[in-house]
Amino acid sequence: MGLGYSPILRKEIAIGFILLYLFFEIYVLLVESVQKVFKFSFGFIGPTEIRILGIFFSLYAYFSPLRRHNTLFLIFLAVMALRLVYNVVKKAIELNKRRSRFGKA
Protein backbone atom coordinates (compact mmCIF):
# COMPACT_ATOMS: atom_id res chain seq x y z
CA MET A 1 0.00 0.00 0.00
CA GLY A 2 3.01 2.21 0.49
CA LEU A 3 3.60 2.29 -3.26
CA GLY A 4 -0.02 3.34 -3.75
CA TYR A 5 0.51 6.41 -1.61
CA SER A 6 3.69 7.30 -3.47
CA PRO A 7 3.76 9.04 -6.84
CA ILE A 8 5.14 5.85 -8.40
CA LEU A 9 1.90 3.86 -8.56
CA ARG A 10 -1.83 4.49 -8.56
CA LYS A 11 -3.74 3.53 -5.42
CA GLU A 12 -6.18 1.34 -7.36
CA ILE A 13 -3.37 -0.90 -8.58
CA ALA A 14 -1.90 -1.22 -5.08
CA ILE A 15 -5.33 -2.17 -3.71
CA GLY A 16 -5.63 -4.70 -6.55
CA PHE A 17 -2.40 -6.34 -5.37
CA ILE A 18 -3.68 -6.53 -1.81
CA LEU A 19 -7.02 -7.99 -2.89
CA LEU A 20 -5.38 -10.55 -5.17
CA TYR A 21 -3.04 -11.65 -2.40
CA LEU A 22 -6.05 -12.07 -0.08
CA PHE A 23 -7.90 -14.06 -2.77
CA PHE A 24 -4.88 -16.38 -3.03
CA GLU A 25 -4.96 -16.86 0.73
CA ILE A 26 -8.71 -17.60 0.70
CA TYR A 27 -8.13 -20.13 -2.08
CA VAL A 28 -5.41 -21.87 -0.06
CA LEU A 29 -7.62 -22.00 3.05
CA LEU A 30 -10.58 -23.40 1.08
CA VAL A 31 -8.42 -26.12 -0.48
CA GLU A 32 -7.02 -26.93 2.95
CA SER A 33 -10.46 -27.25 4.50
CA VAL A 34 -11.84 -29.39 1.66
CA GLN A 35 -8.86 -31.64 0.94
CA LYS A 36 -6.94 -31.38 4.21
CA VAL A 37 -3.83 -30.40 2.22
CA PHE A 38 -2.06 -27.18 3.14
CA LYS A 39 -0.04 -26.06 0.14
CA PHE A 40 0.88 -22.42 0.34
CA SER A 41 2.40 -22.03 -3.09
CA PHE A 42 0.90 -21.28 -6.46
CA GLY A 43 2.95 -23.19 -8.98
CA PHE A 44 6.49 -21.95 -8.50
CA ILE A 45 5.41 -18.82 -6.64
CA GLY A 46 4.82 -18.86 -2.90
CA PRO A 47 4.21 -16.02 -0.47
CA THR A 48 7.93 -15.45 0.10
CA GLU A 49 8.59 -15.22 -3.63
CA ILE A 50 5.71 -12.75 -4.02
CA ARG A 51 7.22 -10.56 -1.30
CA ILE A 52 10.67 -10.77 -2.93
CA LEU A 53 9.16 -9.82 -6.30
CA GLY A 54 7.46 -6.90 -4.58
CA ILE A 55 10.80 -5.76 -3.17
CA PHE A 56 12.44 -5.99 -6.61
CA PHE A 57 9.58 -4.09 -8.25
CA SER A 58 9.77 -1.43 -5.55
CA LEU A 59 13.52 -1.03 -6.00
CA TYR A 60 13.14 -0.93 -9.78
CA ALA A 61 10.41 1.70 -9.53
CA TYR A 62 12.46 3.80 -7.10
CA PHE A 63 15.69 3.81 -9.13
CA SER A 64 14.11 3.96 -12.58
CA PRO A 65 14.14 7.32 -14.37
CA LEU A 66 10.43 6.91 -15.12
CA ARG A 67 8.13 8.34 -12.48
CA ARG A 68 5.02 6.23 -13.19
CA HIS A 69 5.09 2.45 -13.47
CA ASN A 70 1.41 1.66 -13.77
CA THR A 71 1.80 -0.43 -16.94
CA LEU A 72 4.49 -2.70 -15.50
CA PHE A 73 2.51 -3.29 -12.32
CA LEU A 74 -0.73 -3.82 -14.25
CA ILE A 75 0.94 -6.54 -16.34
CA PHE A 76 2.20 -8.27 -13.20
CA LEU A 77 -1.24 -7.94 -11.59
CA ALA A 78 -2.89 -9.45 -14.68
CA VAL A 79 -0.47 -12.39 -14.70
CA MET A 80 -1.17 -13.06 -11.02
CA ALA A 81 -4.94 -12.83 -11.60
CA LEU A 82 -4.75 -15.26 -14.52
CA ARG A 83 -2.74 -17.66 -12.38
CA LEU A 84 -5.41 -17.50 -9.66
CA VAL A 85 -8.19 -18.18 -12.18
CA TYR A 86 -6.18 -21.08 -13.63
CA ASN A 87 -5.64 -22.59 -10.15
CA VAL A 88 -9.31 -22.25 -9.21
CA VAL A 89 -10.56 -23.81 -12.47
CA LYS A 90 -8.00 -26.63 -12.27
CA LYS A 91 -8.99 -27.40 -8.66
CA ALA A 92 -12.70 -27.27 -9.51
CA ILE A 93 -12.23 -29.80 -12.32
CA GLU A 94 -10.17 -32.04 -10.03
CA LEU A 95 -12.78 -31.92 -7.25
CA ASN A 96 -15.60 -32.54 -9.72
CA LYS A 97 -13.84 -35.65 -11.03
CA ARG A 98 -13.37 -36.89 -7.46
CA ARG A 99 -17.02 -36.29 -6.67
CA SER A 100 -18.24 -38.15 -9.74
CA ARG A 101 -15.84 -41.02 -9.04
CA PHE A 102 -17.23 -41.51 -5.52
CA GLY A 103 -20.84 -41.12 -6.58
CA LYS A 104 -23.02 -38.09 -6.32
CA ALA A 105 -24.17 -37.25 -2.84
pLDDT at residue 57, rounded to an integer: 78
Tell me which residue of 39, 22, 37, 4 sits closest to 84, measured CA to CA.
22
pLDDT at residue 47, rounded to an integer: 67
pLDDT at residue 43, rounded to an integer: 61
pLDDT at residue 83, rounded to an integer: 85
Domain locations along the chain: 2-101
pLDDT at residue 44, rounded to an integer: 65
pLDDT at residue 41, rounded to an integer: 65
pLDDT at residue 98, rounded to an integer: 79
Q: Which residues contact 70 (CB under 8 A, 6 or more apart)?
A: 9, 10, 13
The stretches in the chain having pLDDT less than 50 are none
